Amino acid sequence: MKIFGIDPGSDRTGYGCVETDGSRHRIVVCGAISAPALASFPEKLLTIHRRLAALIDSCRPDAVAIENLFHATNVRSALKLGHARGVAMLAAVEAGLPVAEYTPAEIKRAVVGYGRAEKHQVQQMVKLILGLTVLPSPHDAADALAVAICHVHSQMPKAVASAVVGRGKAATSWRHYHLARP
C-alpha cells in the first residue's frame, strides 16, 4: 500500500509518499513545494496544484492523506491555508484517489504517541519509523510523511481485524493478530 501525505501551506506545501507492507514502512519521495516569492496568490495555488498532481501521478498511491485545518493566527491566514488545502484535495480527487483528513493532534498521536509533540519530536520519529539516516527536511516534508504514516496506522488495525475475523477469530490487538495467524 502506498499513501501520499500532504502538509498544506500557501507559502510551502510539504509532500511525502510512504509505501508499506503493514509491518515495514519505506519512503518513496518527500519534499516541499514553494512558489516564487513574488508570485500572486492565485499563481502560488496553481503551482501547488500542478506539482502535487504531477507527484501523485508519478507515485501512483492508493490514497491521499491531508492535514486538516485546526486553527490559524488570523482569518486571512486561515483562508489562505484553506485554499491550499482545497487545491491539494482537488489534485487527489482528479487522480481518482480517496482522501483522508487528520488533525495535527491525531497525526502527532499516531507518530509520536503524544498529541502535543513538538516538530522536532515528529521529525525524529518519522526518521526512526522510516529507517532514515538523517531527519527529513524541511519540516513540511517531515510533517507530510507523518500524515502518511498516520493514515497507514489508522488503516492497519481495520485490515488486521478483517483478516483475522475472516478466519473466525476476533483480533483485539497486534499481539493477538500475530498469535492468531496460522
The long-range contacts involving 21-24, CB below 8 angstroms and separated by at least 24 positions, are 22/156, 22/159, 22/160
Specify the residue for cell string 476476533. 170
Specify whether 21 is catalytic: no
Specify whether 67 is catalytic: yes
Specify whether 62 is catalytic: no
Q: How far is CA 30 from the centre of its chain?
A: 11
Task: Give residues with Cβ within 8 angstroms of 121, minimum separation 6.
Answer: 108, 112, 114
Task: Give residues with Cβ within 8 angstroms of 12, minimum separation 6.
Answer: 32, 33, 34, 138, 140
Exactly one of 7, 21, 62, 101 is catalytic; name it: 7
Exactly one of 67, 94, 101, 143 is catalytic; name it: 67
Exactly one of 19, 62, 101, 140 is catalytic; name it: 140
Active site residues: 7, 67, 140
